[in-house]
Amino acid sequence: MKQKHLFTALLCAITPLAHAATDSLDEVVVTATRMPQSLDRTIADTTVLNEQDIRNSGATDVPTLLRSVAGVEVAQSGGLGAQSGIFMRGTNSNQVLVLIDGVRVDSATTGSTALEHIMLDSIERIEVVRGNVSSLYGSEAIGGVIQLFTKHGSGAPAFNASAGLGSYGTQRLSAGISGEVNGTSFNVNAGRVKTDGVSAINPLLGPGANPNNNGYDNNTVDAQVKHAINADHALSASVFSTRGNTSFDNPYNPAVTDVNNTVESIDKYSLASDDQLTDIWHSQVRLAQGIDDSHTYLNGAPAYRYRTQNNQLAWQNNFKVADGQQLSVSAEHLGQSVNSDTMYTQVRRNVNSVLGGYTGDYGAHQIQLNLRQDDYSDFGTANTGLLGYGLAFADSWRATATVSSAFKAPTFNDMYYPLTFGYQGNPNLKPERSHNREVGLHYAAYGQHIDAVYFDNRISDLIANNAGFTTVVNINQAQITGQELSYAGDFGESHLKANATFQDPRDVATNAVLLRRAREFASIAATRDFAAWSLGAEVRYSGARQDVNYYNYPSTAVTLPSYSLLNLTSSYSIDKHFSLNARVDNLFNRIYSEVYSYNTLGRTLFVGLSYR
């Protein structure tokens, strides 16, 4: 009850601000429906982080930026480059789908995406859609979808570069060239990030861990070219490759002085043909491959190797059937494979999918309908759907409601892990299933956005260890209810963003709160432009979270305390080409933890110089 009162109070507090600004937010998004749509008209709960947002943040990597998004929590096992868990609306990391330019890059063995290796120098835009959207994208989208868009070229060819130094020996370099010549646009970008880091595990809590600093080294290159044959036909190709070398602590190693590191690459390759076949029919055919390649080393010697591929072929057809009405029909093929020194009992599977979507705008009324069927070669079919309705009223207000279903396919680890020390995968697993209901109230006018959403997500057939820890079974159920409140607005030279999430993510059988998820978390950020200067401040808050001390036998429950952080940003335009920027994280040097026994960074300062 206390949460609901606070949620209502926050809504009432910021509603009057909506009448103070002078311009409108007019973003166009594609992730919410797989068709272009104004953000003001989306029914699915959607957040956009555009190029200006990314630049103003001064953040280095994607997880840092996502911490400011409503409904998204990050639990990182150490400093920059350390393994990151992304919890969206209280769901697991492997229940959130991550796409790069529409391409899957998740690991087929773990089911999650190593977002900690994706640096922001290559990213132009991020769209975050919360809620069940498996009917659009298939497996994993129980909590939602995070789609990253890499940079593309436009205008006259131009060079860009940036360099910076920061705390803990952090170095950051990037350079690129982009533009458009005679109907051919292009972008090429390369970047490097290096940091000495801190010891990942607190040796007082994990006494077997090496107390040395755990550094990180990342190299990224991406390229994109698009050629317009004429006004109706275009061909494009893109490459994205990031390689992260992460030093980590393993408190179970035989010797405290052991050195562990993982070298992980995420690669994306894509070819596409976009064709306006008639006045009402747009077709896209895309052939793509997403790769997650991970190699772990102990004292420089190879220990484990996992390389997984997602080979994808998709044909999407969008039809404008009438003014304000769009229809989408698609067919997709996904081939997943594993190459590892672990001898999985099966290393390949295929998924064939058909899907359709409809969006209709009937004046004050909006409708969204999506249906999808995914046919897996190992466990069978999964059918999902979404029905959404929007009602515009009182000039600038909208009410929305959706019901939807989603699923997550069992991973190769879940089904085909070989018998090892008495444990093995279970080839008879079923997919995890989810049903979500949500209602929302939205305001959009005068450059202001207010969104208030209530959600109820019920997940069944969750995959978990059996009682003897000899295999995994479909046994658990979870119910996650909550409310999200977000606001974004401009007031002349001042800009304000705020969000708060109140959630109750629980295991149905035990009534326990799901691990590493706070029941409330929030952020508020303000920036102010002064001629050539821009100054900003952000406050982030997270409530207490439950975790487990696995060093004890038997393991014991622990509570991670709540925390608040203050971050500062600034930028100065030297001239039309050069600018200086700085970011201070954790200004007051708070000691906190996102994962039990793992350290987080104290106060950090980063200063950079950019040319564009």
Domain residue ranges of the chain, discontinuous segments joined by +: 2-611
Token representation of residue 82: 């350390």
Place of tokens 């609306």: 89
* Number of neighbours of residue 552 by Cβ within 10 angstroms: 9
Q: How far apart, in whole angstroms, are the C-alpha atoms of residue 587 and residue 536? A: 13
The angle formed by the CA atoms of residues 607, 609 and 610, to the nearest 5 degrees, is 135
Radius of gyration of the chain from its Cα atoms, rounded to whole angstroms: 24
The pLDDT score that the predictor gives to residue 22 is 33
Q: How far apart, in whole angstroms, are the C-alpha atoms of residue 247 and residue 476? A: 34
Could you tell me the mean pLDDT of each successive run of 10 residues in the chain, 612 residues long? 44 39 62 92 93 91 95 95 96 97 97 96 96 96 97 94 97 97 96 96 90 96 97 98 96 88 98 97 98 97 97 98 95 98 97 98 96 97 98 94 98 97 96 98 89 97 94 96 95 94 96 96 96 95 96 92 98 95 97 96 96 93
Peptide bond into 561 cis (omega under 30): no
413-430 pLDDT, tens digit per residue, is 999 999 999 999 999 999
Token representation of residue 585: 């994280």
Using DSSP's 3-state secondary structure scheme, residue 484 falls into strand
CB 544, CB 518: distance < 8 Å: yes
Residue 253 CB burial class (10 angstroms; 0-12, 13-18, ≥19)? middle
The pLDDT score that the predictor gives to residue 27 is 83
Q: How far apart, in whole angstroms, are the C-alpha atoms of residue 405 and residue 457? A: 9
The pLDDT score that the predictor gives to residue 24 is 40
The pLDDT score that the predictor gives to residue 172 is 97
Of 592, 585, 589, residue with least CA distance to 64: 585
The pLDDT score that the predictor gives to residue 8 is 44
Strands (DSSP E) contained in 249-347 are 260-276, 281-298, 301-322, 325-340
CB 461, CB 431: distance < 8 Å: yes
Sign of the torsion formed by the C-alpha atoms of 390, 393, 395 and 400: negative
10-24 pLDDT, tens digit per residue, is 444 443 333 333 334
Of 396, 513, 508, residue with least CA distance to 459: 508
Place of tokens 């206390």: 2
Residue 356 CB burial class (10 angstroms; 0-12, 13-18, ≥19)? middle
Q: Whole-prediction pTM value?
A: 0.94
| The domain defined by 2-611 carries CATH number 3.40.50.2000 | no
Place of tokens 């920059």: 80
The pLDDT score that the predictor gives to residue 39 is 86
The pLDDT score that the predictor gives to residue 16 is 37
